[in-house]
Amino acid sequence: MDAELKTAANDLASLVEQSSRALAFTGAGLSTECGIPDFRSPGGLWTRNKPIPFDAFVTSRAARSEAWRRKFAMDESFKAAVPGRGHRALAAMVATGRLRGIVTQNIDNLHQDSGVPGERLIELHGNGTYATCLHCARRYELGWVREAFEAAGGEAPDCSACGGPVKSATISFGQAMPEAEMRRALDWSVEADLFIAIGSSLVVHPAAGLPVAAKRAGARLVILNREDTPLDGLADRVIAADIGTVLQSVVERLGIAGPG
């Protein structure tokens, strides 16, 4: 590890040690080392497929079928993914009380898989490992959706209870944010004394408003992301480096690194 990275990891470890209500805010960049592409890196999902907005999903079966086709095409890499160094480091920081909790934009379930308890985690954009009916909220496992989709020759299935559209339990562009999660995330943000934004381009709103709210309420803001973000000018420290490498080094310095 080069000297600049060592200094950055040292600085972040010290900030964590000095804080009593540190919060991590994570985005798709945390999971790229696990084989899940992000949206906005060069070659990321954004450059391949523009997301299907919520309105189109609700009003058009063709859009729903296309959404499920993409989802199943991606599903192998999601299913094969296991928590990376970054997830494990953050889980160790939560377990030892160094972090109050994690607010995530990710939908890949890897924070839960790394052992972060539900009450320490807020999912702002839902969870892609299951589906729900948009009308009656009935839960469906992806295996059921896939079977029905394939049996119908690639058509999106409807809810077997009420006939409503069945959608991955994630928040699409144009879909309302989950209110309770958003409120809790804002509370945690304004109560934080250290806000660490990790692997997010910080352009997706309203989630990207959280670091701003935290900073305005007095938190120190650290941004760990290999590309520039629009909030870099507001940050007390920007670490433009690989997430897994930096976070692993931070937990080593804190003396809480687990095996591997």
Residue number with CB closer to ligand NAD (168 or 200) = 200
User: Which residues are bridge partners to 22 per DSSP?
Assistant: 194
Backbone angles phi, psi at 103, to 5 degrees: -105, 120
Q: Is 205 one of the annotated active-site residues of the chain? A: no
Reading across the β-sheet that carries 194-198, which strands appear in turn? Answer: 121-123, 101-104, 22-26, 194-198, 220-224, 237-239
Catalytic residue among 87, 111, 125, 205: 125
SS3 state at 248: helix
188-217: which residues touch ligand NAD (CB under 6 A)? Answer: 199-201, 204
Residue number with CB closer to ligand NAD (66 or 193) = 66
> To the nearest whole angstrom, how small is the minimum distance from the Cβ of residue 158 to ligand NAD?
25
Taking the C-alpha atoms of residue 247 and residue 252, their distance in angstroms, rounded to an integer, is 9
Taking the C-alpha atoms of residue 211 and residue 93, their distance in angstroms, rounded to an integer, is 19
- DSSP secondary structure code for residue 238 in this structure: E
Site string for ligand NAD, 72-111 (x = CB under 6 A): ---------------------------------xxxx---
Given a contact cutoff of 8 angstroms between Cβ atoms, the answer to whether 197 and 243 are in contact is no
129 is an interface residue for ligand NAD by CB under 6 A: no
Residue number with CB closer to ligand NAD (132 or 201) = 201
Site string for ligand NAD, 36-65 (x = CB under 6 A): x-xxxx--xx--------------------
Helix axes 61-80 and 142-151, enclosed angle (nearest 10): 130
115 is an interface residue for ligand NAD by CB under 6 A: no
| Contact positions vs ligand NAD (CB under 6 A) | 27-29, 31-33, 36, 38-41, 44-45, 105-108, 125, 199-201, 204, 225-227, 242-243
Residues recognised as catalytic: 125
